[in-house]
Amino acid sequence: MPSALTSLRQLLARLVDRLVAADPARSRLRLAARALLALVLTTAVLFGTARFQPLPIAAYGLGILLSFIGTIGVREPGWRRQTATRALAGLIGAVAAVLAGALARWPLVADLGFLVVIFVSVYIRRYGMRWLAVGMVAFMAYFMGEYMRPAPVDAGFVLFAAAVALGSAQLASAVLFPDDPEQDFRRALRTIDRRINLILDHLLQAARAGALPPDDRRTIRAQMVEFREIVLMAEGFVPQITGSGLALTGAAAELAAGLVDLLLAVERLVRYRETALPPAAALLALLEERGPQVRAGVARPDAPATGAADQLLEAVRLARGRINAALGPSPSPAFAGIGAPVPAARQAALGGPRAGVPAAFHRPIQVTLACGLALAAGLALSPTRWYWAVITSYIVFNNTRTRADTAVRALNRSAGTLGGVLAGTLLATLLQGHAMASGLLIPAVFFLAVYNLQTSYGWMIFFFTIGLALLYGLMGMFTPELLLLRLVETVVGGLCGVGAAFLIFPVHTGGEVETALAEFLDALGALVGAAAARAAGEDSNLTGASLRLDRSYGALATAVRPLGGPWSVVTRFGSVRAKLLLLVSCAHWARVLASAMATEATMGAAERARVADLVAGVDDKIARLRLAAARWFATGQTPERGFAATPSAGELKRDAAIGALETIDDLLGRAVAQLGTG
């Protein structure tokens, strides 16, 4: 019995650990709680009102829909801007619903009006996050009005329902579960410390045993995957856009750079474990020193200074101290400007003008034509459920940049719908006649859908489809054929969206990758040039160049995502991931170079000559890679798995700048060699 209890406790501990790692700042939990609470409040107010004043069915439909969109679709910082956005969205949504209802008696006119709304809703996205939310509300409200057909005399009730829904969303989002990026970051940082301690504890056990355990690779890989994901999530909470624009200096920029340094320091320590393990005493000392207590730039008085493994362990500690220095006590200066107005910026259009059509109209035309095809196909399949096809065609273009991105999103939506149809049919059949059980399960699956929104679009659709099946069962409308029709309409809508993405103003992934890689190489060249200028005694902005390089790498990693398939390219080994690792290693050593040039004493003539030679070699390789940017990721060759297995001697000796330049030159040489030109 005791062993069974121990096993149960261990299982629960692992489960809690997984949940914490999946949502270290509890931001996903908060978003799901907001959406559920807004839905419950909206439903309660509307049904409570109906006891005294009957409401049209369109008011219920619009209220429930807008409570959801108003919660997850409004993402502007600050409750004042959120209030203005929700008020504007509510007004436009009510007008769109009433207009659709008034035009419904003329189906052709109503459908043409729907396409106009679609075009405008996509076009206005280029003006910022507010108009992205307003456009989404207008689209969903119009379809709801065309389907439920509110009469003009119902306009007041529709506006009331929209106000209730968006007011509930505002209450849940800004009052009951408000965003607090600083506290989210601090919670994520505590989770980062726990992940680091798990890795250090693994190394400690190995050091005491004198050898790595048999499951070392599997354990370390799992721990590092979670560690990287948490660091990236934490970095997302740092306000790198301020009222004055992009933050290139200051506490926020230092905090973001410190996170990357910590990630790279831990990665180097982990990679080096197969060469030498840090002594148990040094590992135990760092485990006993709490992360928040580490001081920036201050080495431990008893820290060994001889072995490479010891220095790598100390680098982890100093990187953690850099974060503490930038974060400071609460309220942190890194988050001080988060309430400042963010300058509105137009969303850049992808590609240039084609066939005389300005680039700004490419995506609106693309989405409108896709939805028009989906509307025709959806009506042919079902005169009452056509909207599933149109919604799919519209949604698959959200958060996508290229035609491959759109195809992946359509596939995820179709797969999630298929799984939801199967599970929903089973659950709705089993719970038929059990209204209480169905009523309790619907909010639960709705909560799970929103909880998965930020991490898995397919799982979100899966749970939504289950909830829809249970809702139809509760209303006495459920049939397996109805869910099958949803699946068919979804697939048809996805095919229309993908077809439009590939045939109408297509944005090729290769073109996006070429542009992103060229920008990365430009940023790398600029940083190396700034370091060379500093070596020659000139002043240069090494910090700004380093942050520009980090951001250009992030854009590149996003652009190549479709090339690695529907899964994350950073957790599966293969050609794309290996090349990203090569480039991120270049970015890391460029940061080492910038740090060394900012702190080292003035170089002698021989050192300056060596730096000049290395910079010339690096510039030459960057130029050759830039010319071949369009095909570098398409080549099947990959760099050796061990290209970054051990730290360069340059990092471990006094002259870190020259060592970093040598490493960058070597890495770029390997990249050029993959083209058969090096």
Residues 202 and 57 in one domain: no
Closest CA to 40 of 434, 446, 431, 452: 446
19 is a domain residue: no
pLDDT, tens digit (0-9, with 9 covering 90-100), for 11-37: 666 666 666 667 777 888 888 899 899
Q: Are 500 and 369 in contact (CB under 8 A)?
A: yes
| pLDDT confidence of residue 600 | 53
| pLDDT confidence of residue 483 | 84
Average pLDDT, the chain: 78
572 is a domain residue: yes
Tell me which residue range forms the domain holding 535. Answer: 509-673
12 is a domain residue: no
Residues 367 and 484 in one domain: yes
Residue 227 has pLDDT above 60, yes or no: yes
- Contacts for 464 with CB less than 8 Å, ≥ 6 apart: 416, 420, 445, 446, 449
Residues 442 and 576 in one domain: no
Residues 39 and 152 in one domain: yes
CA distance 404 to 580: 19
CA distance 656 to 99: 67
Residue 57 has pLDDT above 80, yes or no: yes
Note the pTM of the prediction, 2 decimals. Answer: 0.74
| pLDDT confidence of residue 320 | 86
pLDDT, tens digit (0-9, with 9 covering 90-100), for 390-425: 988 998 888 777 777 788 888 888 888 888 888 888
- Give residue 160's pLDDT band: very low, low, confident or very high (50, 70, 90): very high
| pLDDT confidence of residue 96 | 92
Residue 329 has pLDDT above 80, yes or no: yes
| pLDDT confidence of residue 130 | 86
pLDDT, tens digit (0-9, with 9 covering 90-100), for 262-315: 877 888 788 888 888 888 888 888 888 776 666 655 555 555 555 777 878 888
- Give residue 675's pLDDT band: very low, low, confident or very high (50, 70, 90): low
CA distance 230 to 31: 18
Residues 364 and 320 in one domain: no
What does the buried/exposed string (b/e) look like for 383-422 if buried means 16 or more CB atoms within 10 Å of the residue's CB? eebbbbbbbbbbbbbeebbbbbbbbbbbbbbbbbbbbbbb
Residues 475 and 525 in one domain: no
Residue 3 has pLDDT above 80, yes or no: no
Of 54-68, 247-261, 600-614, highest mean pLDDT:
54-68
Residue 567 has pLDDT above 50, yes or no: no
347 is a domain residue: no
Residues 365 and 501 in one domain: yes
Q: How many domains does the chain have?
A: 4
5 is a domain residue: no
CA distance 393 to 501: 10
CA distance 82 to 174: 8
Residue 677 has pLDDT above 50, yes or no: no
Residues 404 and 430 in one domain: yes
CA distance 141 to 89: 10
- Give residue 50's pLDDT band: very low, low, confident or very high (50, 70, 90): confident
Question: Last residue of some domain: 118, 151, 179?
Answer: 179
| pLDDT confidence of residue 262 | 83
Q: Which residues pair with 246 in a beta bridge?
A: 241
pLDDT, tens digit (0-9, with 9 covering 90-100), for 532-562: 787 777 767 776 787 788 778 777 776 776 5
196 is a domain residue: yes
User: What type of residue is 452?
Assistant: N
pLDDT, tens digit (0-9, with 9 covering 90-100), for 93-143: 999 999 998 898 898 998 999 999 999 999 998 887 889 889 999 998 998
- Give residue 486's pLDDT band: very low, low, confident or very high (50, 70, 90): confident
Closest CA to 614 of 572, 653, 657: 657
351 is a domain residue: no
pLDDT, tens digit (0-9, with 9 covering 90-100), for 175-220: 888 888 888 888 888 888 888 988 999 888 888 888 888 888 888 8
Residue 341 has pLDDT above 60, yes or no: no
Question: Last residue of some domain: 485, 507, 529?
Answer: 507
CA distance 311 to 34: 46
Residues 558 and 631 in one domain: yes
Residue 77 DSSP one-character state: S
Residues 668 and 519 in one domain: yes
CA distances from 292 to 194, 226, 331, 398 (A): 12, 20, 15, 39
CA distance 98 to 110: 11
Beta carbons within 10 angstroms of residue 620's beta carbon: 13
3-state secondary structure string across 588-603: HHHHHHHHHHHHCCCC
Residue 606 has pLDDT above 80, yes or no: no
Residues 290 and 219 in one domain: yes
| pLDDT confidence of residue 572 | 35
Residues 442 and 456 in one domain: yes
Residue 564 has pLDDT above 80, yes or no: no
Residue 574 has pLDDT above 60, yes or no: no
| pLDDT confidence of residue 359 | 77
Question: Last residue of some domain: 139, 158, 179?
Answer: 179
13-27, 514-528, 605-619: least confident range: 13-27
Task: List the structure tokens of 435.
Answer: 């209204």
156 is a domain residue: yes
